[in-house]
Structure 1
Amino acid sequence: MQDIDPIEQAEAAPFVVSLIVPVFNEAEAVRRFVDTVTQVLAGVATFEVVFVNDGSRDATERKIEALMAEGKPLRLINLSRNFGKEAALAAGLAHARGDVIIPMDVDLQDPPELIPEMLERWRAGAKIVNARRIDRSQDTWAKRLSAAAYYRIFNWLAENPIPSNVGDFRLLDREVVQAVLQIGDRSRFNKGIFSWVGFETVEVTYERPARADGASSWSWWRLWTLALDGIFASSTAPLRIWSYVGGTMAVFAFAYSAYVFLSVLITGRDVPGYASTLIVILIFGGLNMVALGIIGEYIGRIYYEVRKRPLYIVRSVKESED
């Protein structure tokens, strides 16, 4: 009996690829995205595009419905309002039917041309294939600098580091998605979750192209909020750090108190105290406020978790007819 190469057997077996695409006011970009994906994946794999409409206020929903009427292999998950990209991505993972799931952006900065290579790595046995950006020259210098700093800080604090310059664009095996769907966190940071679940992971690299259509809806404030959510959802290290800061400051305070006591006892000279007392009060007051803010961030997340509200609400689900 002839032995069958497991890789060749995997290549011959039929499979379905689900592309998870959260959209928010992306009416200008959806057609180009669908046309590009169709061209790249035609003959490579059976696929579906799962658009998650995250409360768009423009013509995004109508544009996707028009493409569905043309017979494109699309599904449309309409959320009841804007819940944010992390929740929209979770909704897409819950509704995807494929054996392989690939979250990606609609602006084509996650190049569909990379998907065949990612599928080859999956056929070879990988459960997660990360797409890492090796060139971000299309981003502003401020965004590149802040992103590099964030990855360093996050991986220094987090119990499970995340790969640098890897966004949501990655290939996930169905087994990985089933594991992710078991996680009920309301404060969602999907990059940290993908790292936490484990599984065999490999990497492909690409140069990040410019955005094809429209403009990004991500403001600096939203990016800052996402960054904080990522850190506080993935680590308790900030609380531990403030224990060390408090201990260090207490040591200095005791040392300074001993110095003042001995100075007065030995020399009999009063130590001028107004300026030094004011400085110490201001420093400790500022540190206390920062520490309380960090504690408040964790308490706020506990509040969201114990309410057990759903991560998102689906308004409707639409699908192209076969």
Structure 2
Amino acid sequence: MTTKINAISIVLPVFNEEDGILNTIEVLENFVSCQIETYELIFVDDGSVDSSVDIIRQAQSQYDNIKLVEFSRNFGHQLAITAGIRYATGDAVVVMDADLQDPPSVIPNMIEKWQEGYDVVYGKRLIREGESFFKLFSAKAFYRVMRKVANIDIPLDTGDFRLMDRKVVDALSKLNEPEPFVRGLVSWVGFKQTAVSYERQERTSGVTKYPLSKMLRLATDGITAFSEIPLKIVNYVGVISILAGFLYGLVTTFTGISTLTFAITLMLLLSGSIMLALGIIGDYLYRTFDASKHRPQYVVAQSYGFAKRPNNIHAMNKQHG
């Protein structure tokens, strides 16, 4: 009886990684050459303005398992992952960053869990080497806040590094959210999930593509996509405002004391609370408005190395075999 050789797709979003992408390719090719499974490496270029695409294209002449999806502009990390899994053809799909902070050596452990019957195997970070105190603190805080407020079970200390069975990938490919929070969507679709622990490596070249502004945007997308708690907070702010106004009325009516300072402080607090409430509501309204336009999630300028066009790609100009 022959054992089936599984096909594994590795999806790697790329944005301005010219300093390290060649090393990533070499490390991954050395890794897959030692495995019993067959592998395809799908690089999704998210509008890089450096030579990342040229380096990947050159590598394709040496390695026939490298494939490239090139966006027409920068659409964002989460949409690059979304496009990559739609193009993937493997029995299972691994998503990992292109900077090797998520080590390929963890993939065999993921495959082992997958073969035990798990549909999603996500990497749980024990250590995050080379990251600042602020980054570590903010990441821990985000995962724990998200765990408390979300209406789905999102595992703590996990990023997008994970293996997903074909049926999970097919379910994700049917979703069409304008600003997807991929790790949340993976939890939302369900199926049997488990973790493997690993130590995240320090970036060896280049700079992080997630500065504070993008971290905050990702956090906002995650919370507004999977929790109604911020809207409930708006209700609480309204109740507190009414009580504060009533208290102010009592103070001015029964004490007869000038309360100018108290009044100014109260007005500042109330106006700040109102602006915060409007901002929260605005985030939810924008998500609704953005979805109502029914635009493609992204535009693919060119793709290389694919035998055929995926059925659920919304916009593509050129395809090269």
TM-score, normalised by the number of residues in structure 2:
0.91
Query: Distance between the aligned counterparts of 1:298 and 1:132, measured in 2?
Result: 30
Kindly indicate whether residue 229 of structure 2 is the aligned counterpart of residue 243 of structure 1.
no
Write the letter of the residue equivalent to 1:284: L
1:56 maps to 48
1:208 maps to 200
Query: Distance between the aligned counterparts of 2:176 and 2:261, measured in 1?
Result: 52
2:312 maps to none
Secondary structure of 1:294's counterpart equals helix
Cα deviation per residue 1:147-177 (whole Å; 9 max; x = unaligned)?
Answer: 0111111112111131121111000001001
Query: Distance between the aligned counterparts of 1:38 and 1:137, measured in 2?
Result: 24
Within 5 Å, give how 1:171-190 maps onto structure 2.
171-190=163-182
1:294 maps to 280
Within 5 Å, give how 1:214-229 maps onto structure 2.
214-229=206-221
Query: Distance between the aligned counterparts of 2:120 and 2:74, measured in 1?
Result: 28
**Which one has the largest radius of gyration?**
1
Within 5 Å, give how 1:117-128 maps onto structure 2.
117-128=109-120
Shift of 1:212: 2.8
Shift of 1:38: 2.1
Shift of 1:63: 0.6
Contact preservation (8 Å) 2:7, 2:90: yes
Shift of 1:256: 4.4
CA RMSD in angstroms comes to: 1.9
Secondary structure of 1:76's counterpart equals strand
Kindly indicate whether residue 267 of structure 2 is the aligned counterpart of residue 281 of structure 1.
yes
Write the letter of the residue equivalent to 2:270: F
1:307 to 275, 281, 293: 293
2:317 maps to none
Write the letter of the residue equivalent to 1:279: T
Shift of 1:130: 0.8
Secondary structure of 2:12's counterpart equals strand
Kindly indicate whether residue 157 of structure 2 is the aligned counterpart of residue 165 of structure 1.
yes
1:147 maps to 139
Q: Which has the higher contact order (CA 8 A, sep 6+)?
A: 1
Structure 2 residue ranges without an equivalent (≥5) = 308-320
1:317 to 297, 303, 309: 303
Shift of 1:138: 2.1
Distance change (3 Å), C-alpha of 1:284 and 1:320: closer
Kindly indicate whether residue 100 of structure 2 is the aligned counterpart of residue 100 of structure 1.
no
Within 5 Å, give how 1:28-39 maps onto structure 2.
28-39=19-30
Kindly indicate whether residue 83 of structure 2 is the aligned counterpart of residue 91 of structure 1.
yes
Shift of 1:320: 7.7
Contact preservation (8 Å) 2:13, 2:44: yes
Contact preservation (8 Å) 1:131, 1:169: yes
- Tell me which moved more, 83-92 or 231-240: 231-240
Query: Distance between the aligned counterparts of 2:262 and 2:306, measured in 1?
Result: 72
Shift of 1:12: 2.0
Query: Distance between the aligned counterparts of 1:255 and 1:26, measured in 2?
Result: 58
1:272 maps to 258
Shift of 1:30: 2.1
Shift of 1:260: 4.3
- Tell me which moved more, 307-316 or 245-254: 245-254
TM-score, normalised by the number of residues in structure 1:
0.90
Contact preservation (8 Å) 2:179, 2:221: yes
